[in-house]
Amino acid sequence: MKAAVLVTSDRVSRGEARDESGEIAVELITAMAEVVEKRIVPDEADRIRDVLLQWCAQGIDVVITVGGTGLSPRDVTACVTRSVLDKEATGISAALMAQGLAETPRAMLSSAAAGVRGRTLIVNLPGSKSAVRQYLQYLLPILPHALEMMHGKGHS
């Protein structure tokens, strides 16, 4: 399985903050997949869209985005993700939301999306370190089955 991590953050992209959440994502994903790329971009729709489309065209199996899922005017990652998806995976988004709400009511402020473009699964995660760790620990075990389903292999 090939994976990539996209960090969307104005502050991190400008070097004003350290990318701890993206590093946590890479560390956790590496336990089960080859992370072929990690990229940091500002909260700009065109930049985010370009990276998502490029990685999907390259055949990356799973793209995890970190950041840009809140209510700030600059938080556009979820909207951009929805615009490139062929099919939403609302169950993934709902399950991750439930996980977050078990920890904090602030999780309801997330607009994170998940879904498929071509043969690539894209999942948005919030930018908080604890959320990235919590959500990936919950998400990673289902990824192999999700990819089998996406590739038409049916239920095992």
Q: What is the pLDDT of residues 48-59, one digit of tens each?
A: 999 999 999 999
Cβ 12 vs Cβ 70: under 8 Å: no
Element (H, E) at 5: strand 2-8
The pLDDT value given to residue 60? 97
Residue 92: the pLDDT is 96
State residue 123 phi and psi, 5-degree precision: -130, 125
**71's tokens:** 């209510």
Write down the pLDDT at residue 152.
84
Beta strands at 34-41 and 62-66: parallel, antiparallel or unpaired: unpaired
Beta-strand runs (E) in 11-148: 34-41, 62-66, 87-88, 114-117, 120-125
Residues of the chain with pLDDT under 50: none
CATH 3.40.980.10 applies to domain 2-150: yes
* pLDDT, position 147: 92
Both tokens assigned to 41: 């971009």
Query: 3-class SS at 3?
Result: strand
List, for residues 107-125, the tens digit of each pLDDT value.
Answer: 999 999 999 999 999 999 9
Q: Any idea where the domains of the chain sit in the sequence? A: 2-150
Distance CA 88, CA 7 (A): 21
Output the pLDDT for position 143: 93
pLDDT at 155: 65
CA-based nearest residue to 43, from 23, 68, 15, 25: 68
pTM of the full structure: 0.95
